[in-house]
Structure 1
Amino acid sequence: MTLYWLAGLFATLLILALAGYAALLWRRVAQQQKARQQQQAERQQRLAGDLQIIAGCLLDEQMPWIEGCIRLKVLLDHYDASLSCSAPFAVLHTVHAEVADVPSHQAWKDLPSRERKAHEQRFRELELQHKIAVRQAVLHLQQQLAARA
């Protein structure tokens, strides 16, 4: 009989210890989820700020038009992919696709002058073709960002 009591007591203590450990693990998971959500919110805030800066620079013509379009498209993809794919921003995807084959950074510098000039001519043509639509997309983006703030 004493053996049964000891076994029952041991089983009860084991169950309590496992329940305590399970509660500890659940608390850790909840803390990790909260930290992840906070990191995601901070990331979204940083991206929104970056989008505002690039949008403002593009509208004020403080950066090359093509560069602004590319940066906005990429940042918008990271900020909110579904927003990025919406109709007002299709022009950013169009411009990005048109210049996707253009070398960048050192590869751009290494291009012969003739090729660089050809690309720059293409950039000017794209700007003439899409500038109004890009401006409208940027203004729409600024409205969206302000509404989410």
Structure 2
Amino acid sequence: MITFTLNGQAQRFEGDPEMPLLWYLRDVQGLTGTKFGCGEALCGACTVHADGAPIRSCQTTLGDLSGVAVTTIEGLSPDGMHPVQVAWRELNVAQCGYCQAGQIMSAAALLKDTPHPSDEAIDDAMSGNICRCATYPRIRAAIKRAAGEVHRKTASSGSAK
């Protein structure tokens, strides 16, 4: 049996440990925000967090997840108010929208570790996420906008302790 956490909820899986996390999310849990793109971990559409780090769920098996905390786009902020999600909406980043959940998950992980990333750091962190609509300038602008808000929220929650 494989046990892990998904969006804060304990999971117990007794099926095939080689099942890709992506199929578990979409087909078993009904969490369709995480998308299938290439199936080869090259496009980033299936990006989720494992213990806070971005991973490709199409190539991560359930057997790899024992004891891991997985967060999907649905669990990033249930009300859609994570600073990255807000910046995405404010700057109308999405065009077709297919890649955006993966883009947002990669951006959120970047800002957690690098509160004020340079253009180069943004490009490096986001290089594994492909946007066929080429909204890269809006993606970078949204990450920069969100960076200030993430920093403010982190500073205010840290000072409250």
Fold shared, TM-score > 0.5 on shorter chain: no
Of structures 1 and 2, the larger Rg is shown by: 1
Question: Which protein has the bigger helix share?
Answer: 1
Question: Which protein has the bigger strand share?
Answer: 2
Query: What's the TM-score once normalised by structure 1's chain length?
Result: 0.28
Query: What's the TM-score once normalised by structure 2's chain length?
Result: 0.26
